[in-house]
Amino acid sequence: MRGKHVLVGVTGGIAAYKAGYLVRDLVKSGAEVKVMMTEAGTRFVTPLTFSALSKNPVFTDLWTNNQSSDSDISTQHIDLANWADVLVIAPASANTIAKLAYGISDNLLAVVALATTRPIILAPTMDAEMYLNPVTQNNLTSLKERGYIVIPPVEGELASGLSGPGRLPEIKIIIETIGKILDQSHQDLKKKRILVTAGPTYEAIDPVRFVGNRSSGKMGFAIANAAAQRGAEVTLVAGPTHLETPRNVTRIDVESAQEMLTAVLAHTKKTDAIIMAAAVADYRPANPAKHKIKKHSSSKALELQLEATTDILAMLGKKKRSMTLVGFALETKDELAGAKEKLRKKNLDLIVLNSFGKQNRVFGSNLNTVAMIDKRGKVEQLPIMPKFDIANKILNKIKTLL
Ligand SMILES: Cc1cc2nc3c(=O)[nH]c(=O)nc-3n(C[C@H](O)[C@H](O)[C@H](O)COP(=O)(O)O)c2cc1C
């Protein structure tokens, strides 16, 4: 934590007083701390408390100069956004969470959250009903998809007298999370250009029907998110998925394998690594109908003829020079042998083998179990873990290959 710039945001909730302990312990651990408060936050604890604990002026207002008379109010929010190595909003009220989810920026804290490219950690605390309300849950899900780190509240007795999830976790847990996030976002991939593909592809049968697969896109989006947090310039070519775009990532939406191929080829120049996490269709309807295929009154079966799509990974493997190429494999039998064969045949530098089993539902889950196999055939089996952590493991490996 020593020398790190930690920007703490305090919003209007009963747990605001606990942010005092957070600031105190961060300062003790060697971090430089600045505090921003919402107007509601100042109703629970005074800025003076945080100013004394952080040994810095406290920022409460978008419209006044909080620092000193000679610093420029017109750039105050941007200066703060750039100053931070990490922004921690603790406690994060339901109101502020909703603002962040929709980009509403009508106070200093919300403007800075929108302007910073650094990791943002949220510690929601509120009454259990407010926390469990689908509106709050949806807002948190969309923020998590975009790369916000959410420390879930703990269960226990709440200020309302009721019991449930809503309490601020122990300060130690929050500080551990800040440490972990600072470690994971130490900009070791700065100036690296990384292209990631994610999600399924849809191959048209007719204008309204398609052949697809069960890929959710979560693994590829996690890789894009983790790479961007580590400072890489990330382009994400995404098949159809409802996932939100991670912060600091350029997204290109495609639908079919052919569109994915075109988008990938247009961006391979000057790319340091390509990570093909997308589940690209191997086959597509050979003659998609121009108009919707009508249901015939007879019970005659409808036959669809499929033709092979272009194998994007194999094509990149043939073309590549200095670029690092990473593929994914999913097999339902002879997993390891199949993955090794794919690595060799497609001239990959690394292949990530998804485990497919009843215990580990890879599709749509936030957890996964994978093995990484490198060119020399070395296999590294990872235990079950969040896709974001797997993403960082893959990026660590790629870093040694770049
Ligand atoms: C006594 C009191 C306690 C409150 N506690 C919480 C809380 O713990 N969490 C929360 O999300 N909102 C809480 N609220 C509501 C927020 O303060 C209110 O939504 C406010 O607009 C939040 O503004 P902010 O997000 O700009 O800080 C509380 C309100 C009052 C009056």
Q: What is the 3-state secondary structure (H, E, C) of 36-102?
A: EECHHHHHHCCHHHHHHHHCCCEECCCCCCCCCCCCCHHHHHHHHHHHCCEEEEEEECHHHHHHHHH
Distance (Å, whole) CA 25 – CA 46: 18
pLDDT at 344: 94
Q: Is 153 in the pocket of ligand 1 (CB under 6 A)?
A: no
Q: Is 96 in the pocket of ligand 1 (CB under 6 A)?
A: yes
Ligand 1 atom closest to Cα of 96? 25
For 275, the token pair is: 């990570």
Q: Residue 80: which of 51, 46, 115 has the closest Cα?
A: 115
Q: Are 124 and 165 in contact (CB under 8 A)?
A: no
Note the CATH architecture for domain 5-184.
3-Layer(aba) Sandwich (3.40)
Domain spans of the chain, in order of start: 5-184, 193-401
Q: Flag whether pLDDT at 164 surpasses 70.
A: yes
Cα-to-centroid distance, 12 and ligand 1 (Å): 4
Q: Tell me if residue 396 is catalytic.
A: no
Distance (Å, whole) CA 159 – CA 187: 40
Provide the strand spans (E) within 103-248: 120-124, 149-150, 154-157, 163-167, 193-198, 203-206, 209-211, 233-238
Q: Is 38 in the pocket of ligand 1 (CB under 6 A)?
A: yes
Quick check: do 5-184 and 193-401 share a fold? yes
330-360 pLDDT, tens digit each? 877 788 889 999 999 999 999 999 876 655 5
Q: pTM of the full predicted structure?
A: 0.87
Q: Residue 169: which of 184, 183, 181, 153 has the closest Cα?
A: 153
Query: Which residue, judged by its Cα, is nearest atom 17 of ligand 1?
Result: 12
- Residue for token pair 């309302």: 160
Ligand 1 atom closest to Cα of 40? 27
The topology under which CATH files domain 193-401 is Rossmann fold (3.40.50)
Respond yes or no on whether the N-terminal peptide bond of residue 91 is cis (omega within 30° of 0): yes
Q: Picking from 32-36, 119-123, 237-241, 265-269, which range would have the lowest pLDDT averaged per residue?
A: 265-269
pLDDT at 228: 95
pLDDT at 358: 54
- Helix or strand or coil: residue 222? helix
77 band by pLDDT with thresholds 50, 70 and 90: confident
Q: Is 125 in the pocket of ligand 1 (CB under 6 A)?
A: yes
Would you tell me how many other CB atoms lie within 10 Å of the CB of residue 186?
13
Distance (Å, whole) CA 393 – CA 223: 10
Measured CA distances, 328 to 65, 113, 148, 333 (Å)? 51, 34, 26, 15
Q: Is 124 in the pocket of ligand 1 (CB under 6 A)?
A: no
Which among 56, 82, 133, 213 is annotated as catalytic? Answer: 213
- Helix or strand or coil: residue 285? strand
Q: Are 284 and 211 in contact (CB under 8 A)?
A: yes
Cα-to-centroid distance, 13 and ligand 1 (Å): 4
